[in-house]
């Protein structure tokens, strides 16, 4: 799968790659990062028509009713890279009814998958080379000036279970949990590192083990942004796990609900123009939550943990964690700090993503979140259906 990983890196650099399916091929480049000069060169070399590939989230925002999962839009000779960027990411753009939309091919869908794998906006430019251009492209492939990957390899790579390696560990005393140990995992193929923070003496952990799966949030966790509740939620998770007798906090490299830091800040800019957090992500072509919790489950499995009390307010996270080999035996809410700046964000997560936040949102800003969570505490006999669990609230 090294070739797939290398093509992802090329796309992140704005470099075109070749997608193959038998004798068929297309030249693909990301809208996110390609320069006008490289786009013009690619267009001239391919000789064939250019198609902009978008997913259903972006197509719906452009105004298309019931769009396919991925679709292709033919660009005209007069269309520029600026036009493609506008159709791919401009919040104000609407698709003209005179432009036909057709389902994307397997080649084009694979190119879109690669862009998404590289944390790029899911929008790619694909060109089927004409017969005259094929020898030149084959020559560039032979000289390694261009990279090629097959559709089958792309799908196999993207569907494969995560490959995690436990690399190193050390004691790292924390202010709220002096007896803590950091265990660092490396995820093969995507240049991501994840951390399991073991809090307390594992020999005396309660069963089920208290576990928080926390997605990284640079702005909230490190800089104390009040635009979200992530930083306060992270610190309260460490404290609560310690009070419960110890457990595990999984710190996952899943910034921006899995879209990456750049796209998270792009979404913030769109939110500043009036859209909520869900719609802002959809403007960019992302779903409401792009995370996958297979990595978190594998981390727990490698730590020998299978039965957990999950600290979350997020029903999607609950469902994602409650899969083999992990059983979520109970759920606890874990509230962050409610602020004037994050109230709308949290309300959107409650109303549009089903996060369990009503108890937090109906209290004043100065309500003690820890006391509120304790007041909500209960027990749950089947967290898979989540009729109650220990009621707590949503996290990133």
Quote the Cα angle for 214-264-350, to 5°.
60
Quote the Cα angle for 16-22-27, to 5°.
15
The active-site residue, picked from 43, 257, 266, 291, is 291
Q: Which residue has the tokens 């994307």?
A: 104
For 86, 269, 274, 345, the CA distances from 285, given in Å and listed in that order, are: 13, 15, 17, 19
Could you please report the per-residue DSSP string of 240-279? HHHHTT-EEEEEE--HHHHT-HHHHHHHHHHHHTT--HHH
For residues 198 and 181, what is the distance between their CA atoms, to the nearest angstrom? Answer: 5
Q: In what order do the strands lie in the sheet with 70-74?
A: 101-103, 70-74, 50-55, 123-127, 24-30, 17-21, 148-150
For residues 188 and 16, what is the distance between their CA atoms, to the nearest angstrom? Answer: 23
For 47, 67, 155, 327, the CA distances from 23, given in Å and listed in that order, are: 18, 29, 18, 46
At 94, give phi and psi (nearest 5°): -130, 140
Catalytic residue status for 343: no
For residues 284 and 115, what is the distance between their CA atoms, to the nearest angstrom? Answer: 13
CB atoms within 10 A of CB 188: 13
The H or E element spanning position 213 is strand 209-215
For residues 196 and 173, what is the distance between their CA atoms, to the nearest angstrom? Answer: 14
The active-site residue, picked from 32, 221, 279, 289, is 289
Residues present in the chain in total: 396
Q: Which two tokens stand for residue 368?
A: 């003690």
Catalytic residue status for 32: no
Among 288, 199, 292, 208, which Cα is nearest to 248's? Answer: 199
> Looking at the annotation, which residues are catalytic?
289, 291
């Amino acid at each position: 799968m090294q070739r797939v990983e290398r093509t992802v890196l090329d796309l992140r650099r704005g470099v075109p790659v070749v997608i193959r399916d038998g004798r068929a091929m297309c030249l693909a480049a990301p809208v996110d990062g390609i320069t006008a000069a490289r786009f013009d060169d690619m267009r001239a070399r391919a000789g064939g028509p250019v198609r902009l590939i978008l997913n259903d989230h972006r197509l719906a925002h452009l105004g298309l009713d019931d769009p396919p999962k991925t679709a292709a839009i033919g660009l005209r000779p007069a269309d520029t890279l600026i036009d493609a960027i506008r159709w791919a990411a401009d919040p104000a753009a609407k698709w003209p009814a005179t432009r036909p939309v057709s389902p994307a091919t397997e080649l084009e869908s694979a190119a879109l998958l690669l862009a998404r794998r590289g944390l790029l906006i899911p929008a790619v430019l694909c060109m089927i080379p004409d017969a005259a251009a094929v020898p030149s492209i084959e020559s560039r492939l032979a000289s390694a000036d261009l990279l090629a990957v097959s559709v089958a390899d792309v799908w196999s790579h993207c569907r494969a279970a995560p490959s995690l390696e436990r690399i190193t560990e050390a004691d790292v005393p924390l202010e709220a949990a002096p007896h803590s140990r950091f265990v660092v995992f490396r995820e093969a193929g995507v240049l991501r590192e994840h951390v399991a923070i073991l809090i307390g003496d594992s020999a005396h952990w309660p069963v089920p083990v208290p576990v928080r799966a926390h997605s990284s949030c640079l702005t909230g966790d490190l800089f104390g942004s009040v635009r979200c509740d992530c930083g306060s939620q992270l610190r309260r998770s460490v404290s609560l796990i310690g009070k419960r007798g110890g457990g595990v906090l999984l710190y996952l490299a899943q910034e921006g609900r899995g879209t990456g830091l750049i796209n998270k800040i792009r979404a913030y800019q769109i939110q500043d123009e009036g859209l909520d957090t869900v719609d802002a992500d959809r403007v960019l072509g992302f779903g409401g939550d792009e995370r996958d919790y297979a990595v978190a489950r594998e981390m727990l499995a490698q730590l020998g943990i299978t039965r957990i009390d999950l600290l979350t307010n997020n029903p999607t996270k609950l469902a994602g964690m409650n899969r083999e080999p992990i059983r979520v035996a109970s759920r606890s809410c874990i509230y962050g700090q409610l602020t004037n700046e994050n109230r709308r964000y949290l309300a959107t997560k409650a109303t549009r993503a089903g996060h369990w936040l009503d108890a937090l949102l109906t209290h004043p800003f100065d309500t003690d979140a820890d006391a509120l969570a304790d007041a909500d505490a209960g027990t749950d006999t089947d967290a898979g259906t989540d009729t109650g669990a220990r009621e707590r609230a949503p996290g990133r």
